Amino acid sequence: MIFSRLPKNAQRPTLNAQRSTSERLNSSFLTPNSSFRRHSLRSGMTMIELVAALALFVVILGALLTIMNTATSLWSTARGQQREQAVGRQILDLLTDDLQHAVTDAPSNGVSSLPPPTFILDTRTNQTASGVQIVLQFARHAKRQTFPPAQSGTPLSLDAVFYTYFDNALFRHAIPLSVDYADPKTLGKLLDDQRPDVESKPLHEDILKYVRDPTRNPPPAPDWSFSLLAERIDLLDLPATLPEAFARKPKSKLRAAASTSATGFYRPPQYNYLETDVLPDRIDVALRLHSAEDWATLQRLQNDSSAEADRTQDRLGLRFSKQITFPAQGGSRLP
């Protein structure tokens, strides 16, 4: 065998030398002063940075919640206004249809024995003891939606129509009329006979309770059709235009008119209280509907007489107005 022999002065790599090199390499990653260790320590967040980030998050979240609440409030307000607008248009359309199909009886001569009038308009709120105010009273051509008459006699093709106002709510009643030819009555008398039933306060209270709480039993149905047109309504103005010569002016009404002339209830040729045997030339309707939120605000400001409260009350609710003109031909007499 041939063995190679190194010179005596040659240094052979030893195990200790290799080990020391490996330890130096490993120690460079484990010593606290190494760059890797400093990087791993600085990768976290300090307490101040964490608090600042949380504060910024709270501010952004609060701004988002405020925007969402504002958007929700605006959406609810717009939806409520749309509902009130629809109700207001329905009331005006229904009132227009009723008045343009209204009829009256032939006017009677002789002031001493005047029969009840065939057309009554009264916007004086809550003037009766029961609190039920008949705003309009007249007769119109019958509609198919009304119930058949339950009273005895020969049915007429006419409905007695009453618009009533109770507890800031507007109601409509349509009663089919019939006549007994053995004891004939004028149209005004037929209308006047229905007033006591229409002015029933318990009936209006039952209707309101049933509407506000559908779980209750419905009110006992009378022999006519009735409907709640709107709650939280203000009848701002409802003057009728008629020449003064056609207005009923008995002595008792003249005294009442003289006492209320300053408030505008009796101001010819426009009347806020009118009894007549002919139809007016026109009626100017002005009303205001309130949402539940606006109504609560309005009730809270009623005892506040400041200028700011007055301005706020004027801005509340939605106003509706319409001029209803009666037909020029065939609208003031029975066929």
Give 86-119 as a 3 state SS string: HHHHHHHHHHHHHHHCEECCCCCCCHHHCCCCCE
Question: Residue ranges of the chain with pLDDT lower than 50?
Answer: 1-3, 15, 25, 28-30, 36, 109-112, 251-252, 254-259, 261-263, 329-335
Per the rule left: phi > 0, alpha: psi between -120 and 50, beta: everything else, 60 is: alpha
Amino acid at 268: P
Nearest in space to 278 (alpha carbons), one of 102, 107, 97, 99:
107
- pLDDT tens digits for range 271-280: 888 888 888 9
Rounded-to-integer distance, Cα 296 and Cα 313, Å: 11
For the stretch 82-119, pLDDT in tens is: 788 888 899 999 999 999 899 887 655 444 467 888 99
The token pair that represents 80 in the structure block: 């409520």
- What is this structure's pTM? 0.70
Give me the residue spans of the domains in the chain.
76-325
Task: Tell me the C-alpha distance between 176 and 158, whole Å.
Answer: 6
What pLDDT does 179 receive?
82
**Residue 215, pLDDT score:** 80
Please, are residues 92 and 286 in contact by the beta-carbon 8 Å criterion? no
Residue 129 per-residue DSSP state: T
> Could you give the CA distance from residue 62 to residue 50 in angstroms, rounded to a whole number?
18
